[in-house]
Structure 1
């Protein structure tokens, strides 16, 4: 298993970036053949806004890469973290690390992005998309993504995990992000069966419904167990889903300047949630 993990540690930057676009392209193609919903929109125009936000995300990733490298150097020298307190097979350490990363850097921070008013204003940008497809997975306000990356580093520090674990998690996270947002239809029984352990496309679509309480449900990214444990799991009839978010339905979801300004726009008010200004 160590050679497998070492591959991710030595994976060149061009391959990491390539993975993002390969997975994005794969689900983009599948959407054309196995659509969950027939979306009446101009796909490339819609994608433009989300891909511009992806560019911001990749720049932030590069900056955080420097901070991450410094954290792993310190962890290696200090032997700080829970993984240094016991001995276990490498696959056990990897699984524990993935679970903690998914809980803190995905479910936990996502829950806070919905519950903390100032953080929710940033996260509105992700939910304002009225046509959820694979590119919606890239749709995050830059400040929203910075918060997410900070929580990921917190999980790394808590566990004291090697960098290979973290990089493997990032590869899996990209796959699940695009898989769960993709406008694809799985056989209902298969989707529901998978959702007992992993987040599925249908399961995550309820999270993108424009009204409460579904908006505040299904926070997971990879593992669905957190939503089941903390009673935030929802699974219903997907035909009832309407994309968007009630407090931003009057905004242009395909205008990048409007989307970047939503957190600071006093005209964005909510009927379903209390939203405070910065």
Structure 2
């Protein structure tokens, strides 16, 4: 277990970036064979907008990476955090850390992004995509990403977790982000069965429906247990899903400048 975690701690930057593009590429190819939605759109033009947003997010991630190192150096020299309050096997501590990260840095912050008006304004960029596919997983306004990363650091501090735990979580998170956004169709019974434990492609697509109440449901990223526990889980017919955002359907979802300005657009009737 120690060597397994050491691998993620010593993983070079090029390999982390390569993992992102490897997972993107795998699901991009699978979308060609196992489509859920058969809409016609220019996939490369659509991807260009989302990948530009990914590039901006990766630049911000460099800054957050330095802040993260500072947090882990402090935690390493202290006994702060819940993991220091009990003794357990490493795999148990790792599992608990991933669960807390998924709860705080994914489900909880995602819930806030929908419920707090100024946060929702930033998050609308993600929801404005009218053709959800694997690249939609990269589609986040830079300020949206900063909020998410801040909550991830909060989860790290609460648990007092070592850096390999966090880095392993990041690798898993990338996999689930692209898996759940990919325009792929699993056998319906398999998708439903998996959705009792993890977030599945069908499950997450209801979250990208253009209207309430589905828009405010299925907030999870990896584990579906949070949506089930807090009563935000929905599952229906995927044929009833329409992508995009009703309040911003008049905006060009493939115009990068419009998308960067979207949170500050006074013509959008955001929530009060």
Q: TM over 0.5, yes or no?
A: yes
Structure 1 segment 16-31 matched on structure 2, within 5 A:
16-31=16-31
Describe the superposition over 1:71-128 as per-residue Cα deviations: whole angstroms up to 9, x where unpaired. 0000000121010111000000000000000000000000000000000000000000
Paired residue for 1:99? 99
Q: Aligned partners of 1:168 and 1:195: how far apart in 2?
A: 22
Paired residue for 1:60? 60
Structure 1 segment 78-89 matched on structure 2, within 5 A:
78-89=78-89
Aligned residues: 272
Are 1:8 and 2:8 counterparts? yes
- Measured after TM superposition, the shift of residue 162 of structure 1 is 0.3
Q: Name structure 2 gaps, 5 residues minimum.
A: none
Paired residue for 2:224? 224
- Measured after TM superposition, the shift of residue 227 of structure 1 is 0.1
What secondary structure is seen at the aligned counterpart in 2 of 1:196? coil
Paired residue for 2:72? 72
Paired residue for 1:35? 35
What secondary structure is seen at the aligned counterpart in 2 of 1:37? coil
Q: Aligned partners of 2:114 and 2:63: how far apart in 1?
A: 26
What secondary structure is seen at the aligned counterpart in 2 of 1:172? helix
Structure 1 segment 94-243 matched on structure 2, within 5 A:
94-243=94-243
Q: CA RMSD in A?
A: 0.6
Paired residue for 2:48? 48
Q: Aligned partners of 1:201 and 1:157: how far apart in 2?
A: 31
Q: Aligned partners of 2:80 and 2:61: how far apart in 1?
A: 24
Describe the superposition over 1:14-67 as per-residue Cα deviations: whole angstroms up to 9, x where unpaired. 000000000000000000000000121000000000000000110111110000
What secondary structure is seen at the aligned counterpart in 1 of 2:77? helix
Describe the superposition over 1:217-275 as per-residue Cα deviations: whole angstroms up to 9, x where unpaired. 000000000000000000000000000011110100000000000111001115xxx24
Q: Aligned partners of 1:165 and 1:231: how far apart in 2?
A: 29
Paired residue for 2:264? 264
- Measured after TM superposition, the shift of residue 203 of structure 1 is 0.1
Q: Aligned partners of 2:13 and 2:86: how far apart in 1?
A: 33
